[in-house]
Copies of this chain bind each other. A is one copy, B any other.
Amino acid sequence: MRLEILPVTGIGDVSPGADLAALISEAAPWLRDGDVLVVTSKIVSKAEGQLVDIPVDGPARQAARDEILAAETARAVAQRGQTRIVQTHHGFVMASAGIDASNVDRSQVVLLPKDPDASARSLRAALRERYGIDVAIIVSDTMGRPWRNGLTDVALGAAGIDPIRDHRGETDPYGNELHITQMAVVDELAAAGELVKGKVGQVPVAVVRGYLERPGDDGPGAVALVRDAAADLFSLGTAEARAAGLREAATLAPGDSDGDPEAVARAIATVAAVVAPGTVFTHVPGEGVHATPPGEAPEALIRFGEDIQRLRAALAAEDGPVRIVLTHP
């Protein structure tokens, strides 16, 4: 197996209503069945008219961008300074919802394609039906990622290729079963395409030749790579999740059952250093945590209440609410 990655040059500027199949097949008459076309989402968006007018400068420009971002956002994920990372209605987690002001006139911004998998299927069908070539299509865009500097291109849409190469259930030569081996090949193909598109500049399409023997059905599309927020260990930014924990602490109510003794012991240890002298929390398994106020003075009782709420927060951090039984000295 050997791959070639070829740039498609000469496509030029793409306007709303442009016929991408015609532009691509004219620019690359050398396309062959089985080629994988990595198409920058921006030209798909432009052809589909996914452009919004905005003021060219001033506070009105920022206000318009904020409004567009809100409309493209399904869920805020993380924010720091000017950077806003959101989940789009497609499910992609991207800075600024993928809204892009580069490679477009300053009076407009480019939104992501409405349905990049549908865009990929439609371009594929047009190339097959009108130009007689059966290729796979990947609609790609640039994304940041946690933990690593620099951006890479990934697939927003796909047609004619399985987005995942799955080795689960296979065994290696030593007889070990392979567990975590679902490779996101359409993302790797998008990245490979970027190597030629990005280095040369103004090359919106790359062709990966040799990966597919022949394209199959359109397949599930790149939407198969979108992980549901509920299944994701990083569905919120660290600061946002910390704030969510604090807000949860702000509304914690008394618990009504007992908890795991080890978790309760950890919670008591967490608050031990900060509770008022004389306040002792004792876990009585089956009942909950016994708490005795250190005195009868109003200040002591108020402080005792603070300490009880502190303990509730510590318990919530460990295992969930636990009954706190007030006892008298």
Contact = CB atoms under 8 A, between A and B. Distances in A.
Interface of A: 1-7, 78, 80, 83, 85, 87, 92-93, 95, 101-106, 142, 144-154, 163-165, 172-176, 178-185, 187-189, 191-192, 194-196, 198-200, 202, 208, 211, 224-227, 232-253, 267, 270-271, 273-274, 293, 296, 298, 301-314, 316-318, 326
Contacts of A6: 2
Contact of A249 (B194, B249, B298): B249
A309 B305 contact: yes
B273 A251 contact: yes
B150 A187 contact: yes
Contacts of A85: 233
Nearest to A147: B93
Contact of A78 (B7, B101, B233): B233
B150 A2 contact: no
A103 to B, nearest CB: 5
Given A195-B3, A195-B189, A252 B310 contact: yes
Nearest to A155: B148
A240 B250 CA distance: 18
A235 B240 CA distance: 12
B249 A246 contact: yes
Given A149-B184, A238-B234, A246-B249, A198 B165 contact: yes
A274 B208 CA distance: 59
B248 A246 contact: yes
A149 B302 contact: no
Given A232-B147, A250-B271, A1 B187 contact: no
B310 A308 contact: no
A60 to B, nearest CB: 18
Nearest to A144: B180
Contact of A306 (B179, B270, B305): B305
A323 B247 CA distance: 18
Contacts of A172: 102-103
Contact of A188 (B144, B152, B227): B152
A106 B173 CA distance: 11
Nearest to A244: B242
A92 B145 CA distance: 13
A199 B243 contact: no
